[in-house]
Amino acid sequence: MKREYLFAPGPTQLPEEILRILSEPIVYHRGPKFKAILQEARADLKVLFQTEQDVLVLTSSGTGAMEAAVTHTLSRGDRALVIEGGKFGERWGEICQAYGVDVEWLRVPWGKAVDPADVRKALTNGSDIRAVFVQASETSTGVKQPVHEIAEITRRLPDTLLAVDGITAVGVFPVPMDAWGIDVMVSGSQKAMMLPPGLGFIAMGPRAWARAERSDLPKFYFNLRKERELQPKGETNFTPAVPFIVALRRALQMIREEGLEQVFARHERLAKATREGMRALGLELFAPESPSNACTAVKVPAGVDGEKIPKHIRETYGVTIAGGQSKLKGKIFRIAHLGYYNPFDMVMVMSAVEMTLRDLGYPAQIGAGVRKVQEILAG
């Protein structure tokens, strides 16, 4: 009797209570009940984003929020600096290019964090750069980027905005939008918010809203000015994903009940235990210098077919993890610990990794990784 366990970095596991809410009768999105739900959820989103700004809810994946960030902060012919250290850094640049924005790439070796000094140099040499785009957590490599240090640079430049992809950062580790001076922050529902894919979130600061007033890039479905006018009233410009927003309210309540600092601490403990468990098996981390607490990326050991690891662990043990993307395919595997995960989840997935590696010919010492995870989480 095989059970299914989800440890990919999105979508992530759903709490049973969220599953129950998603099965309830649907609410009319123009009625008073939905209006109250949306307003309550938006208030809690501000706490999660650590901002006093409006956090707008979009019916899309997080990529929709990324696209809205581009179309509202830039105009035709503008230049943008895109920090590319993984698959999702590439996505920022691809969105910019799709709208005719001139992209200057700051490419970082995958598995490494950008050096803020290189950002400063690029902005000094390119004084006409109107926005910097970066991931807080580059999911494809397991890297945490130095957003705070980058924000220290951009907030002193009156014509350069900072847009941050916080899709696997918001609700995982601190990225305080207002305190750091981040101009745009985006996220998505299927990560730390413990929901299915289908909701994108975006918050913009005063500098970004001022830029949106004169942006001339096309906008229709993702029209943030209209959403900003309607959502404080409990309305949306177009038909929203009603069941997901109803579930969002409860998911945010759950985060509030646990406490944001406690949520951050839980993610840090789970991430540390996973990383140290991998090291106890003799494995190398792909991003040892600046690891994200959202997911752990591990190098495939020599002599093992890396493309077989996700397939074998899923088909044999019912555990879904992620492999590498793009040029990292077959070279790394990734294990999530963001959202609805607890210590026993990490013990279980470590056990499955040990057995999978042994099955594929790697001399894993059964129990070594599990023991290390237990020691850290019990401490």
Closest to 311 in 3D by CA, of 368, 366, 360 = 360
Q: Which structure tokens are listed for 309?
A: 């690891």
Is residue 72 very low, low, confident or very high in pLDDT (cuts 50, 70, 90)?
Answer: very high
pLDDT, tens digit (0-9, with 9 covering 90-100), for 125-167: 878 999 999 999 999 999 999 999 999 999 999 999 999 999 9
The helix or strand, by DSSP H or E, that contains position 295, with its residue range, turns out to be strand 295-299
pLDDT of residue 125: 87
The CA distances from residue 378 to 365, 371, 372, in Å, are: 21, 10, 10
Model pTM above 0.95: yes
pLDDT of residue 127: 84
What is the percent of the chain where pLDDT is above 90?
Answer: 98
Please report the domains of the chain, with CATH numbers, ordered by start residue: 5-11+260-378 (3.90.1150.10), 16-257 (3.40.640.10)
Strands 295-299 and 199-204: unpaired
Residue appearing with tokens 């129990």: 367
- 19-41: average pLDDT: 97
